[in-house]
Amino acid sequence: MKLAKDILEFFKEPIMAVLVALIISHFLISHITIPTGSMISTINIGDHMIVSHIPFYHRNPDRGEIIVFKYGGDNLIKRVIGLPGEIIDVQQGKVYINGEELAETEYIRFPDTTYPQIVSFPYTIPEGHYFVMGDNRENSADSRSFGAISRDVITAVGGYRIYPFNNIGVVD
């Protein structure tokens, strides 16, 4: 009996540490590695980021925010372009929201370019959905090809780059 108690006591702290780490990584923050170039030059292939799950427990994403969401079993990272109920139009690589051109020059890689589009424009974003696009417009499968994403699949806000070390900081 004493041996069993000693073994349990020996493993108690490591088990608690693992449980706390799992809770933190599932509900509060998590580490992701960027697998594609869809967000170049804001986020590059191989960048490591810490993302926060906390904001999306109590608020909806804003236009311009970088989010992480589930799509086809994968975690994708894109920028929120359109909000529920808005009308999105893409013409000659420019994005229009409710008829007004969206100013995006601070974050898109090559202005006036686009990815092959499957969605027909103008496109009305359904309630409870968001239109997302990658910053690397000529190489990003996003809402132009799969439509708006449901609020339910958004898991985190893109946050803090931790690698490469020469580019550490908040990602906007």
Closest CA to 42 of 78, 74, 70: 78
The answer to whether the CB of 158 falls within 8 A of the CB of 67 is yes
User: What sign results for the dihedral spanned by CA atoms 7, 13, 19, 22?
Assistant: negative
The question of whether 140 is a catalytic residue gets the answer no
Say which of 5, 25, 38, 150 is annotated catalytic.
38
Read off φ and ψ for residue 134, nearest 5 degrees.
-80, 155
Say which of 12, 41, 78, 143 is annotated catalytic.
78
Q: Which two tokens stand for residue 7?
A: 């073994």
Matching residue, tokens 């420019």 = 94
Q: Which helix (H) or strand (E) holds 23?
A: helix 2-23
The question of whether 38 is a catalytic residue gets the answer yes
List the catalytic residues. Answer: 38, 78
